[in-house]
Structure 1
């Protein structure tokens, strides 16, 4: 299944490893699944491969496999969160950005008003 299909729930497998093209360690997207059974099978198989490499004489001890569930709309909320963070970093009011989408679950935007204002947070 396409991991970029933001219209449905997907189980996503990432592999933290050295990427020679970028010359850095990073989380590389391996695959996405529309059911948990296939996800579990992929996680088990890849985890065994990583563990075997770790046991090898020169295996990368930082290499690992992780998995997560992306709810429908996850990528859209992440994009909105990125724009809000960038707006705040540049001193701009990010409230207009919330008209176009929701924030991810790990973000909140607070608004403070003085006691004389008609708007209360």
Structure 2
């Protein structure tokens, strides 16, 4: 309940207890401009058999009939730095003295990133 808190009030981790299920939201690590092999897991072209410069290229991006590139065609572009939510993580330990909350599983973002933690045990 947000009405129980005032602006600037300190919120401790003692509102959680081990075994609680939480949902953690944050921004993933940014990868910058990534190619199709890194961004979408494309296999690329063959290394031999007449290929020269097409090792990590996308290849064909459409047929000759529509004569356009269809929407949502997977290509190179910006990767990462997106807001994601990891649900159903279980709280492992709660340390109110150091204000540290340990959970089982991975959390989004780099080390030291800001995270939004919601209790889903309601």
TM-score strictly above 0.5: no
Bigger fraction of residues in strand = 2
Q: TM-score, normalised by structure 1?
A: 0.19
Q: Looking at CA atoms only, which structure, 1 or 2, has the larger radius of gyration?
A: 2
Bigger fraction of residues in helix = 1
Q: TM-score, normalised by structure 2?
A: 0.19
